[in-house]
Structure 1
């Protein structure tokens, strides 16, 4: 059976964030990391080489494949921030601001272009979804 490519690592989140370019993305990443840590109550951890995750859960598909992943997470990529959130509907994003979605991800170019209260509510909603489907 194939192994998961994205697994928790011992890499330091602070070192990863310090190296993020451009500077605006690095600053946005620091803000998002603090927000997700506060809302989740979990410390940040690196998942694979570029995802900062909070909490963990065990999943098992009907096919028998199973693994561990972060409950919520994000990646401060060069072009945009990518958020890994679950259980959200299109209507949940109506007041967010500038974003795009695809394959279960939320893409934001700049935090300045979104309503931070709405983003926080999306994160809380995603955490509630995870708690309901993958109790701790």
Structure 2
């Protein structure tokens, strides 16, 4: 995955529906606060904070943001390894999830303090270099 150089604020202004755009504006502040980094566009629709290089035991490797979300039409995708956050996900509120994504249709229906915990834990895991699942090297 690569950074695009596109303006994050210009991208957010184009997000529809309005609920998703408002949620993205809220998440910009939350992610910046948790990460201590400025947002950058990755790919065509991912808002990322910081950058790192990952390598799986299989040899697959690449670059990705340290923390990221994507405001999509159906829901906002929060990227996090969900198996590391089972207890927190039980307290989060209205969402669905997969192995590495949390899908949120309406940010007002989740507990932002719990989301902050998930993001902080994900950040700590990444900054610590990962684990047996993936080796992480911080690039910024």
Taking structure 2 as the reference length, the TM-score comes to 0.87
Question: Comparing 82-91 with 107-116, which one deviates more in the overlay?
Answer: 82-91
Hey, what's the Cα distance between the residues in 1 that align with 2:57 and 2:116? Answer: 32
SS in 1 for 2:92: coil
Verify: 1:23 aligned to 2:18, yes or no.
yes
What SS does the aligned partner of 1:7 have? Answer: coil
Q: Number of aligned pairs?
A: 131
Q: Which residue of 2 aligns with 1:3?
A: none
Give the SS at the match of 1:122: helix
Q: Is the 8 A contact 1:86 1:130 kept in 2?
A: no
Question: Structure 1 runs of 4+ off > 4 angstroms?
Answer: none
Aligned-residue CA RMSD (Å): 1.4
1:107 aligned residue: 103
Quote the Cα distance in structure 2 between the aligned partners of 1:121 and 1:100: 17
Task: Give the structure 1 partner of residue 31 of structure 2.
Answer: 36
CA contact (8 A) 1:86 1:129 kept: no
Bigger shift: residues 53-62 or 68-77: 53-62
Shift of 1:13: 0.4
Shift, 1:65, TM fit: 3.2
- 1:64 and 1:97 map into 2 onto residues whose CA distance is 36
SS in 2 for 1:46: strand
Structure 1: where are the runs of 5+ without partners?
1-5
Structure 2 runs not aligned, ≥5 long: 131-135
What CA distance in whole angstroms lies between the structure 2 residues aligned with 1:65 and 1:25? 32
Q: CA deviation at 1:60?
A: 2.2
1:72 aligns with 2:54: no
With normalisation by structure 1, the TM-score equals 0.90
